[in-house]
A = this chain, B = another copy of it.
Amino acid sequence: MAKKYVYTFGNMQAEGDAKMKNLLGGKGANLAQMCLLKLPVPAGFTITTECCTDYYANDCKLPDELSLQVWNGVDQIGKIMGAKYGDKDNPLLVSCRSGARISMPGMMDTVLNIGLSTATIPGLIKQTDNERFVYDSYRRLIMMYADVVMEKAEGKAPADGIGIRKILDIRLDNYKESKGYKSDTDLTSEDLKSLAEEFKAIIKEKLGVEFPDDAKEQLIGGVKAVFKSWMGDKAVSYRRIEKIPEDWGTAVNVQAMVFGNMGEDSATGVAFTRDPATGDNNFYGEWLINAQGEDVVAGIRTPNPLNNETKNRHNEHMLSLQESMPEVYKELCDVRNILERWYHDMLDIEFTIQHKKLYMLQCRVGKRTGTASVKMAMDMLKEGLITEQTSILRVSTEQLDELLHPILDAKDEENFKVIGNGLPAGPGGACGKIALSSEEAIRLNKNGEKAILVREETNPEDVEGMRAADGIFTARGGMTSHAALVARGWGKCCIVGSEDLSIDMATKEVNIGGNIFHEGDVISLNGSKGNVYAGEIKMVSATDSPLFKEFMAIVDKYPTLGVETNADNPADTQQALDFGAKGIGLFRIEHMFYGENSEEPLAVMRKIILSDTTEERKAYLNELLPYMKESVKSTLKIMTGKPVTIRLMDPPLHEFAPKDAAQQKTLAKKLGITIDELKTRIEALQEVNPMMGIRGVRLGILYPEISELQFRALFTAEAEARKEGFNPELEIMIPLTISVEELKHQKKLCDKIHAEVEKEQQAMINFKFGTMIEIPRATLVADQIAAITDFFSFGTNDLTQMTFGFSRDDVNSILADYTTKKILKRDPFQTIDFDGVGRLVKMAIESGRKTNPKLRIGVCGEHGGDSESVKFFYQCGINYVSCSPFRVPLARLAAAQASIERAE
């Protein structure tokens, strides 16, 4: 039996419905559904997405069996609409539109007014009694068809490289100019008729073929063009950004034309059933009298407001639809209610009014801002339209994220020109004075001024400046570079890896997309889009939203995974607690060597790593003890009663070595050695591939005294905090483990120091002992490792690095190329790679729980704050995720969504 490629709808009946989006695309499924809801929809049919897939599989040929189904479909449209396709007396015109499973607005092509030819024009003129309208439609068809079908789909480009649409547009402009016309509406029927002929001649000349004068040929051309546009450049990049799989394909909707441009009793418009910007329960939209749909979108004319309550200062002088066609408006309000009640969501609709008759051309779930998303979810919950579960699923983590950051005022932003672009590494907006150094950012901050730290790249020594700055803008680095990680962790606006940025540190000149700036000049950043602007754009604050709190209270009714935080200082810790963190999943002990108050301990650390003998090293280690103990104790106290997982020293030692000459000189003096000797020692710490060198637990095995110091600091901190009346829950985490023997080695040291400190402190000291799982081998021997650990914490950043063989510092250009070329579906450092890294994670969980059923398993790292990754981890049976403070609410939301989705 032939495949069913065509699904008809019309006359309050339909072969499809809203649930058939995968097959019919969003638009087709919703058109069918609106018919079933008895709404006024022009008749039509949908060619399935499957047909698109078959088309590409079949080397861009339409399936043989399609033709018959299409012409049957066309006949049925004709019957319902009382016209006949290609008929010389009463011709039917149709549109041909794309429609993927999820909306890709403006990314694919559309052809309108199909079916107009020298044969059908006279009949349509007779039927409509409107020659001008018919020729206007005809010239529109020619312009669209030449562009979309003949040039883009069939590849018949003009030899001179200028697009055919551009050529025709220029001709149209010239014509209007020659006649002294200002607007398209000035064109007369005769003008349009002669332009149409001219256009056809230009097409013949430029493209080498005739504009098809056959209605059937036109329709097939339109169908193919829509399919073809699925692989157009715009669509491909959109899919990449939105993570839409290529093999979904698009459907094609062929539908009877209705005309909003048939005079003053006709119109066209778009509307949202609620305000998509604020979420307020107002019917919100725009319409144009005597126009076709594309005119609203194109923005040629300023549209009218839909109703009185949503008028604003730009359009308060204009007539609303409510005022000019109250009957139609009332009908539209009914449609709005029917749709919201059936879809239980806010809808984005398109309508056309032809001679005062309302036609619905489209409805779909509407896009909305983060704020609107949460507002609507909460409102609809209260209205009883949706359940709590649905309200939680309605808000994406990205939308929630928006709520947590100050943003640029979108209206004001439109007044500025984008001068540069980079990776949107930290969402939200920022504006301030350019600071080229951390010192300058700090200075500005102290003066109460806002700073944007602009750097080639940032490194750990810049953290203070990054904290002081309102935004960060760098020329290098990717979405998981140092700057990006730190910025997201703090909820700070950040743009990285911008090729538009170059800095000449000698002249202190900053070049952004060809514009020259100096320190102190003001720029604005949109960290959600990656856009940079010259000058100050207004900001909108978004903190302390009661809506946010109300929403999170609902979210927390569906607990699944624990959500902890990665924090290593009191400020971050408090922030995370405020955002609902249940513990600290990652406290980097080396954090004390960066940022505020790090000078003294860092100086000691430098002496330690550049010592020549174990004895020397031990002496300096003792100097470090009080700093480390205090750093840990202060966090244990804030987190009283909640687990604090402290990871032992992780980075390669050379990271601590002083880089600048002055610091090297001071240090050499302290160590009592020459500067040359110091340089030799620093040199000896260098590694070819530091990421796979001497770091993590390897440090603790090569230099057991370094581990011992840390154990001593932790246990002392625990004992002292407890004595001060707190209830510390200390968890010790060993990084970079590859073998159970490493843990046995460290555990032995740990137990020894534990006994010593218990004796010293005359106290019982509690702790848990666990490890990071971040090297592939650890996942493969997880059964052995689990046998002697209380918990695992997957370090999915490093695990991704090693599993892919991707050095995060080096592969940004590769990652960009790989995602563009579709070799990777997405950046595995942002969303966990299910097939590869994910498989290792699953294996490790299974085998770990086999030898230790009580094993507590978490994830720390960037993936812990990524919604899809969190869902994946939930399915794997993980107990908790840990992410940076600003991602805690997102992780809580993702976790709740994961459990609701599973329950469903």
A798 within 8 A of B: yes
Q: Which residues of B contact A692 (CB under 8 A)?
A: 689, 691-692, 801-802, 804-807, 810-811
CB nearest to A823 among chain B residues: B741
CB nearest to A698 among chain B residues: B814
Q: Which of B702, B784, B805 contacts A736 (CB 8 A)?
A: B805
CB nearest to A743 among chain B residues: B823
Choose, from A211-219, A315-323, A834-842, the stretch at the interface.
Answer: A834-842
Q: Which residues of B contact A833 (CB under 8 A)?
A: 777
Q: Which of B689, B701, B780, B835 contacts A803 (CB 8 A)?
A: B780
Also in contact, A836 and B802, with CB within 8 A (given A807-B692, A811-B693): no
Also in contact, A688 and B807, with CB within 8 A (given A698-B814, A823-B745, A840-B776): yes
B690 and A821: CB pair below 8 A?
A: no
CB distance from A676 to the nearest CB of B (A): 14
A836 and B776: CB pair below 8 A?
A: yes
CB nearest to A816 among chain B residues: B702
- Contact flags (1/0) for A694-706 with B, using CB distance below 8 Å? 1000100110000
Q: Which of B736, B777, B810, B840 contacts A687 (CB 8 A)?
A: B810
A776 and B801: CB pair below 8 A?
A: no
B805 and A775: CB pair below 8 A?
A: yes
A107 within 8 A of B: no
Task: Report the Cα distance A739→B688, complex, angstroms.
Answer: 26
A654-707 contacts to B (CB < 8 Å): 687-694, 698, 701-702
Also in contact, A803 and B817, with CB within 8 A (given A694-B810, A824-B739): no
* 20 A–B pairs (Cβ distance < 8 Å), ordered by A: A688-B691, A689-B690, A689-B807, A689-B809, A690-B807, A690-B810, A691-B692, A691-B807, A692-B802, A692-B804, A692-B806, A701-B818, A702-B814, A738-B836, A741-B824, A742-B823, A745-B823, A777-B804, A777-B836, A780-B839
B835 and A687: CB pair below 8 A?
A: no
A58 within 8 A of B: no
B698 and A836: CB pair below 8 A?
A: no
Task: Report the Cα distance A835→B803, complex, angstroms.
Answer: 17
Q: Which residues of B contact A742 (CB under 8 A)?
A: 823
CB nearest to A689 among chain B residues: B807
CB distance from A519 to the nearest CB of B (A): 25
A781 within 8 A of B: yes
A341 within 8 A of B: no
A807 and B777: CB pair below 8 A?
A: no
Q: Which residues of B contact A821 (CB under 8 A)?
A: 701, 741, 745
CB nearest to A781 among chain B residues: B835
Q: Which residues of B contact A507 (CB under 8 A)?
A: none
Task: Report the Cα distance A818→B701, complex, angstroms.
Answer: 8
A613 within 8 A of B: no
CB distance from A777 to the nearest CB of B (A): 4
Task: Report the Cα distance A809→B689, complex, angstroms.
Answer: 7
B694 and A738: CB pair below 8 A?
A: no
B777 and A803: CB pair below 8 A?
A: yes
Q: Which residues of B contact A780 (CB under 8 A)?
A: 803, 835-836, 839-840
A38 within 8 A of B: no
B818 and A804: CB pair below 8 A?
A: no
- Contact flags (1/0) for A465-478 with B, using CB distance below 8 Å? 00000000000000
Task: Report the Cα distance A702→B840, complex, angstroms.
Answer: 28
Q: Which residues of B contact A702 (CB under 8 A)?
A: 813-814, 817
A508 within 8 A of B: no
A129-163 contacts to B (CB < 8 Å): none
With A776-B776, A776-B805, A780-B803 already in contact, 10 other A-B pairs whose C-beta atoms are closer than 8 Å = A687-B810, A689-B809, A701-B821, A736-B805, A738-B805, A745-B821, A775-B803, A776-B804, A777-B835, A777-B837
Also in contact, A804 and B688, with CB within 8 A (given A694-B814, A814-B702, A823-B701): no
A822 within 8 A of B: yes
Task: Report the Cα distance A798→B692, complex, angstroms.
Answer: 12
Interface size class of A (residues with CB under 8 A): 35 or more
Q: Which residues of B contact A741 (CB under 8 A)?
A: 821-824
- Contact flags (1/0) for A761-799 with B, using CB distance below 8 Å? 000000000000001110011001000000000000010
Q: Which residues of B contact A691 (CB under 8 A)?
A: 688-689, 692, 805, 807
Q: Which residues of B contact A822 (CB under 8 A)?
A: 741
CB nearest to A699 among chain B residues: B814
CB nearest to A739 among chain B residues: B823
Task: Report the Cα distance A899→B824, complex, angstroms.
Answer: 41
Task: Report the Cα distance A821→B803, complex, angstroms.
Answer: 27
CB nearest to A740 among chain B residues: B823
Task: Report the Cα distance A687→B821, complex, angstroms.
Answer: 23
Task: Report the Cα distance A837→B692, complex, angstroms.
Answer: 16
CB nearest to A839 among chain B residues: B780
Q: Which residues of B contact A839 (CB under 8 A)?
A: 780
Q: Which of A690, A701, A739, A813 has the largest number of chain B CB atoms within 10 A?
A: A739
Q: Which of A776, A780, A809 has the largest number of chain B CB atoms within 10 A?
A: A776
- Contact flags (1/0) for A818-851 with B, using CB distance below 8 Å? 1001111000000001011101100000000000
- Contact flags (1/0) for A108-133 with B, using CB distance below 8 Å? 00000000000000000000000000
Task: Report the Cα distance A811→B692, complex, angstroms.
Answer: 8
B807 and A798: CB pair below 8 A?
A: no
Task: Report the Cα distance A152→B168, complex, angstroms.
Answer: 101
Task: Report the Cα distance A468→B774, complex, angstroms.
Answer: 44
Q: Which residues of B contact A806 (CB under 8 A)?
A: 692
A781 and B836: CB pair below 8 A?
A: yes
- Contact flags (1/0) for A29-53 with B, using CB distance below 8 Å? 0000000000000000000000000
Task: Report the Cα distance A835→B780, complex, angstroms.
Answer: 7
Q: Which of A739, A803, A810 has the largest number of chain B CB atoms within 10 A?
A: A810
Task: Report the Cα distance A527→B873, complex, angstroms.
Answer: 51
Task: Report the Cα distance A655→B861, complex, angstroms.
Answer: 33
Task: Report the Cα distance A690→B811, complex, angstroms.
Answer: 10
- Contact flags (1/0) for A735-755 with B, using CB distance below 8 Å? 010110110010000000000
A425-444 contacts to B (CB < 8 Å): none
CB distance from A529 to the nearest CB of B (A): 27
Q: Which residues of B contact A690 (CB under 8 A)?
A: 688-689, 807, 810
Task: Report the Cα distance A822→B798, complex, angstroms.
Answer: 25
Q: Which of B689, B694, B814 contacts A813 (CB 8 A)?
A: B694
Also in contact, A701 and B836, with CB within 8 A (given A809-B688, A823-B742): no
Q: Which residues of B contact A736 (CB under 8 A)?
A: 805
CB nearest to A704 among chain B residues: B821
Q: Which residues of B contact A739 (CB under 8 A)?
A: 823-824
B701 and A810: CB pair below 8 A?
A: no
Q: Which residues of B contact A689 (CB under 8 A)?
A: 689-692, 807, 809-810
Task: Report the Cα distance A626→B836, complex, angstroms.
Answer: 40
Q: Which of A689, A780, A813 has the largest number of chain B CB atoms within 10 A?
A: A689
A250-266 contacts to B (CB < 8 Å): none
CB distance from A497 to the nearest CB of B (A): 15
A738 and B804: CB pair below 8 A?
A: yes
CB nearest to A686 among chain B residues: B810
Shortest 5 CB-CB distances between A and B: which pairs? A689-B807, A692-B807, A693-B810, A688-B809, A777-B836
Task: Report the Cα distance A804→B737, complex, angstroms.
Answer: 9
Q: Which residues of B contact A814 (CB under 8 A)?
A: 694, 698, 701-702
